[in-house]
């Protein structure tokens, strides 16, 4: 099918990007570590990885638009 993300993943990602705009980069591993360090979040590994991947995808898309 494709890359279909649930509403929970999309909503969480948008909130995190607004709350911490300068912490996330276009690197999946780095975003995963940043999410692990944020104390307010308590999510399991699968959701954390999905959010980190979606953050990476959105940031890459924004960089591509700016070029």
d(CA 55, CA 32) in angstroms, rounded, equals 10
**Residue 1 — very low, low, confident or very high, per pLDDT cuts 50/70/90?**
low
pLDDT at 12: 93
CATH class of 7-66: mainly alpha
For residues 14-36, give the mean pLDDT: 95
Q: Confidence band (pLDDT; 50, 70, 90) for 40?
A: confident
Query: Average pLDDT, whole number, for the chain?
Result: 91
- Residue 7's Cβ-count burial label (10 Å; 0-12, 13-18, 19+) is exposed
Residue 66 pLDDT class (50, 70, 90 cuts)? confident
Rounded CA-CA distance 4/20 in Å is 24
- What pLDDT score does 43 carry? 86
Domain boundaries, the chain: 7-66
């Amino acid at each position: 099918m494709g890359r279909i993300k649930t509403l929970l993943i999309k909503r969480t990602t948008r909130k995190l990007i607004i709350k911490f705009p300068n912490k996330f980069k276009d690197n999946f591993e780095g975003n995963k570590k940043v999410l692990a360090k944020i104390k307010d979040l308590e999510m399991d590994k699968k959701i954390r990885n999905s959010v980190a991947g979606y953050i990476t995808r959105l940031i890459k898309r924004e960089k591509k638009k700016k070029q």
